[in-house]
Amino acid sequence: MLKRKRFWLGLAISVVLLAVVFYQTDPAKIAHALQQAQYGYLIPALALYFLGVGIRAVRWHYLLRSIKPIPSGALFRTVVIGYMANDILPARMGELVRAYILGAQENVSKTATLVTILVERIFDGLTMIVFIIGASLLLDVADAEMNARLQLVGALFIGVVIVLAIIAGMPNQVERIADFFVRRLPDRLRERARGLARALLDGLGALRSPRDSLTIFALSLGAWVCETTMYIVIALGFNIALPFAVFLFATAFANLVTIAPSTPGYVGVFDWPIVYTLTRFGIDQNLATSYTLVLHAALVVPVTLLGFYYAWRAGLSLTQMTRAETNV
């Protein structure tokens, strides 16, 4: 029932934001802009996108290294399948699918794997805050209230990383504290709780090393810079010329909004922030909407097709992916 409620909430949010995107647009002008676009720019743009995916696979290698050193090439395939699942399944199930696949193929703890994915998301969020703060400085956006909120959110992300690093750095103490509470649980829950505590510590293993933590953050920055540059390259095909900082802001804004519930593929929650940002910096709404439609398709269609190919090669069916939640 909760899943159904989340689905309908996501659908409602997507429909409302799509209505905002297309409000007061001219379909004929959108079609004209799509006809005039230079789609040859998609080739280097997609190369940049998949370079970013490759960097994310390397980042995941560092996060998993304390559990099991897995080659980045194998992780690249799993990341792509996870992205595909996020684009076609509700409730961001791609994260669970990644944990399920890795657990089945590499014999690693699915729970510990999920913890590493959570750490990924924290570093992604921190990177988005860095992008927005950097863009506001480069664009000289004088908004004291917004800057104060960004600093607060940024401090929150940094605080979470520090807390997780402290937990990771004191495994023996954490296990003793956990065992103090676990001993009071019923017998049937006790061993499972101990397993969850061990999986949490295993998943946070990369944060025990300051060097690895900085490497993970640097890889996060590199991956998102690749995606931002992809946005710029596709914009060139629409003759949209804006400062790099605008696209930094658009990338961060769109990806922070996608945290909200939506349909699979982030319909609406991705499109509205991009259109809003471009129109705020002087781009015609019809042109901004046309560009966003192509950008969104470039982010979803190729990785989804490649994900289906990798899933077929791995013998993974759509039914297995939809059951990943019960198998993790």
Distance CA 77, CA 22 (A): 35
> What's the pLDDT score for residue 2?
46
Of 27, 52, 26, 29, which Cα lies nearest the Cα of 233? 52
Distance CA 231, CA 233 (A): 6
> What's the pLDDT score for residue 146?
57
Q: Where are the domains of the chain?
A: 26-327
> What's the pLDDT score for residue 62?
95
Q: Which runs of consecutive H residues, i.e. helices, occur in the chain?
A: 2-22, 27-36, 42-64, 72-88, 94-106, 110-138, 144-169, 171-182, 187-203, 210-236, 244-257, 271-280, 285-313, 318-322, 324-327
Contacts of 42 (CB under 8 A, 6+ apart): 234, 237, 294, 298
Task: Read off the pLDDT of residues 290-328 as tens digits, 9 standing for 90 and up.
Answer: 999 999 999 999 999 999 999 999 888 888 887 766 666
Residues of the chain with pLDDT under 50: 1-2
> What's the pLDDT score for residue 326?
62
Are 237 and 38 in contact, with CB atoms under 8 Å apart? yes
Provide, rounded to the nearest whole percent, the portion of the chain with pLDDT above 90: 56
Ordered DSSP codes for 303-327 = HHHHHHHHHHHTT--HHHHHTHHHH
Are 14 and 272 in contact, with CB atoms under 8 Å apart? no
